[in-house]
Amino acid sequence: MEIDFNLVNEFKETILKSYNEALNLDKNVRNKELNDIVTDVDIYMETKIIEKIQELFPEHSIYAEEKGEILEKSEYVWYIDPIDGTINFANGIPLYSTSIALKKNNETIFGFIYDYSSEKCYYAIKGKGSYCNQERLSVSNNNNLSDSIISFCLTSHYNLDRVNEILQIEKCLAPKVRGLRLFVSSAIELAWCAEGKIDGCINIKKSQRISSSAGILLIEEAGGKVTNILGETRQKVDTMLATNGLIHSKVVNALKYAVFVGSSTEVIEIKQDELNSTINTYIAGKAYSQAIAGAKAGLNSKLLTTISGVRKNELDSMILEAKKNNIDTSNIVISNSIENDIKIVFKDENNIKIKEEDILKGSAEALSEEIIIQNEEVLKKASIIVCQTKISKKTIDKIVEIANENNVPVVINPSRPNEISLDNKENEKLINRISMIICDTKELKEIFGQDVVADEVLKKYENKLIIIEDNNEVKYFDGNSIIAINSQIDLQEVGAKDIFIGRFVKKYLEKENITEAIKASVI
């Protein structure tokens, strides 16, 4: 069939006529899904639009918001949402629209949206552009995320998991964009994006595109881009990220997050001089330090750790510092029944570390397989997981199992001699299932044996093993040669390796290239 611009006028006349007739009806508001609603206006208008399509295209299939699928199967299917934004309409909020789309063999070839608040008629024809009241549309030319306006959907009929997920997305984006807006009319938001009024819109609810198909075609024909929120091609039922295209990858990267998993350590710092000793106590740990470093570099970091609630001052200070850096602390398990790991650090009068002693117990054992299962959802949806090996191998195995099942990369960062070593085939299997190991030369020997040669081990693990050498070189094998990158920061200083790893994870998620991520992390 041939789609032409005359069809736009046919639909506009039908919609306005049925809408004006429907306004004489009692709205008769009633619940649908959870707190979602439907009115008699929706039903009346949908019926009239269906009648018009049947008159014009009697052989076509139709899928309507309220009545579902009707008519025989056809390569042509019409999608109708008579009132997109029914809650707004029912409450007199002038942000609602009618959306109609036509697909041929699951490809949208025609889209129509009528915005009642502005009396604007938006439409698009595949390959012929997007229009508003006969004027050609173009998305915005803004390429700065910080200058962007992005809309998102948060409705009363979202379940609690979706509410928490969209609030987390809001938390990720709010510091990085000019403004977030909540309109709750998907069709209008998409039309406005195609028109350049806003720079993007997000919907995390996986849908069959009844109300979004027309708007998606509008954006694509206006020069924009539409994917799922991971930046991947949308499936038949999927989430949605629509933008002007220029900020698309920036939004995708802003929504990525890393989970740093590990136990926390109570540090008792003793500074000695000739007259007295001063004692300072605080909470630390690799996972915490790396999450802080990543967050300071702009990474969306989540911290999964176990910690005692007994040392309240240190605990409060740790959580406050994490929150200051926008780290999600909701996955920290706090319990008075957990005995913290303890590290004693001795320093001289010049604050130079003399020695340190580890007392291994408590939180490393408390971070159990059961706690990992309780936090499975946050791990499944992570962009990357960074795991410290102070926790038990059984717990690590469960983390890797969840990650593998959901295609989430796992980075292992050894903490000290432990169960993760190559003294048996089971550990070899574990290493083969993770994405990357980042270690220094001491940790390399603890994992692979005291007699190993670093370059030989690197060649065995292509693009997988990253070694921080004592001479401040960071090395890995790219499949052809060993790449050595000089660090401009002293990686042998206390805490410097954790800073490198936090930065590296941020850059790796952005670039998906080890060399570029390392280079950006050592300056």
Q: Which residue has the higher pLDDT, 81 or 423?
A: 81
- The answer to whether 134 touches 121, Cβ cutoff 8 Å, is no
267-316: per-residue pLDDT in tens?
Answer: 888 887 766 778 888 888 899 999 999 999 989 999 999 888 776 777 88
Given a cut of 70, is residue 361 above it in pLDDT? Answer: no
Task: Quickly state the pLDDT bin for 142 (edges 50, 70, 90).
Answer: very high
Q: What is the predicted pLDDT for the residue at 95?
A: 93
Burial of 361 (0-12, 13-18, 19+ CB in 10 A): middle
Rounded to an integer, the average pLDDT of 33-39 is: 71
Conformational region of residue 417, where left means phi above 0, alpha means psi within -120 to 50, and beta covers everything else: beta
d(CA 290, CA 237): 36
Q: What is the mean pLDDT of residues 348-367?
A: 78
pLDDT of 73 reads 78
> What pLDDT band is residue 266 in, cutting at 50, 70 and 90?
confident
More confident call, 33 vs 384? 384
Which pTM value belongs to this model?
0.79
> What letter does residue 234 receive in the DSSP assignment?
P
Banded pLDDT at 97 (limits 50, 70, 90): very high
pLDDT-based confidence at 421, cuts 50/70/90? low
**Sheet strands (E) in 299-445:** 300-308, 332-335, 341-347, 353-359, 384-388, 410-413, 436-440
Q: What mean pLDDT comes out for the span 395-409?
A: 95
Q: Does 418 have pLDDT greater than 60?
A: no
pLDDT of residue 110: 96
pLDDT band per the 50, 70, 90 thresholds, residue 446 = confident
Average pLDDT over residues 393-422: 84
Average pLDDT of the residues in 238-261: 94
The values of phi and psi at residue 211, to 5°, are: -95, -5
Check residue 398 and give its pLDDT.
95
pLDDT score, position 510 = 86
Query: Kind of pairing, strands 332-335 and 300-308?
Result: parallel
For residues 108 and 216, the answer to whether their CB atoms sit within 8 Å is yes
Give residues with Cβ within 8 angstroms of 425, minimum separation 6: none
What's the pLDDT band for 339 if we cut at 50, 70, 90? confident
Could you tell me which residue, 427 or 125, shows the higher pLDDT? Answer: 125
Residue 167 has pLDDT above 90, yes or no: no
Q: Amino acid identity, residue 294?
A: G
* Residue carrying the six token digits 């169960």: 419
Show the tokens assigned to 489.
Answer: 């920061």
For 186-319, list the strands marked E by DSSP: 200-207, 225-227, 238-243, 257-261, 265-272, 277-284, 300-308
Report, as an integer, the average pLDDT of 43-57: 93
What φ, ψ does residue 168 adopt, rounded to 5°?
A: -70, -40
Output the pLDDT for position 389. Answer: 86
Q: What is the mean pLDDT of residues 307-333?
A: 84
pLDDT over 60 (residue 417): no
How far is the C-alpha of 430 from the C-alpha of 223, rounded, in Å? Answer: 45
Which pair of tokens denotes residue 24?
A: 């004489």
Return the structure tokens found at 266: 């109570």
Read off φ and ψ for residue 30, nearest 5 degrees: -145, 155
Which residue matches tokens 């803004």? 142
Q: Please report the pLDDT score of residue 411 as a whole number.
A: 96
Is the pLDDT at 424 greater than 80, yes or no?
no
Residue pair 100/63 in contact (Cβ under 8 Å)? The answer is no
pLDDT of 21 reads: 93
Alpha-carbon torsion angle 110, 114, 120, 126, nearest 10: -10
Average pLDDT, the chain: 88
Instruction: Examine the pLDDT at 35 and tell me if it is beyond 80.
Output: no
Average pLDDT over residues 477-497: 93
Q: Out of 190-199, 240-249, 331-340, 366-375, which region has the weakest mean confidence (pLDDT)?
A: 331-340
According to the 3-state scheme, what is the secondary structure of 89-149? HHCCCCCCEEEEEEEECCEEEEEEEEECCCCEEEEEECCCEEEECCEECCCCCCCCHHHCE
Q: What is the pLDDT of residue 17?
A: 96
Report the C-alpha gap between 440 and 451 in whole angstroms.
15
Query: Which range has highest mean pLDDT (205-209, 364-368, 408-412)?
Result: 408-412
pLDDT digits (tens, 9 = 90+) for 212-229: 999 999 999 999 999 999
How confident is residue 156, by pLDDT bands cut at 50, 70 and 90? low
**Helices (H) then strands (E): counts for the chain:** 18, 28
Structure letter (DSSP) for residue 423? S
The mean per-residue pLDDT over the stretch 242-264 comes to 94
Answer whether 11's CB lies under 8 Å from 5's CB: no
Structure tokens at 212: 């979004």
C-alpha 3/C-alpha 127 separation (Å) is 11
- Residue-level pLDDT at 252: 93
d(CA 77, CA 81): 13
For each of the domains in the chain, give its residue range(s) and CATH number, in order of start.
6-128 (3.30.540.10), 145-255 (3.40.190.80), 257-521 (3.40.1190.20)
Percent of the chain whose pLDDT exceeds 90? 55
Give the pLDDT confidence score for residue 282 in this predicted structure. Answer: 80
User: Beta strand pairing status for 384-388 and 353-359?
Assistant: unpaired
| Residue 275: per-residue pLDDT | 63
Q: What CA–CA distance (Å, rounded) separates 15 from 121?
A: 11
Is residue 348 scored above 90 in pLDDT? no
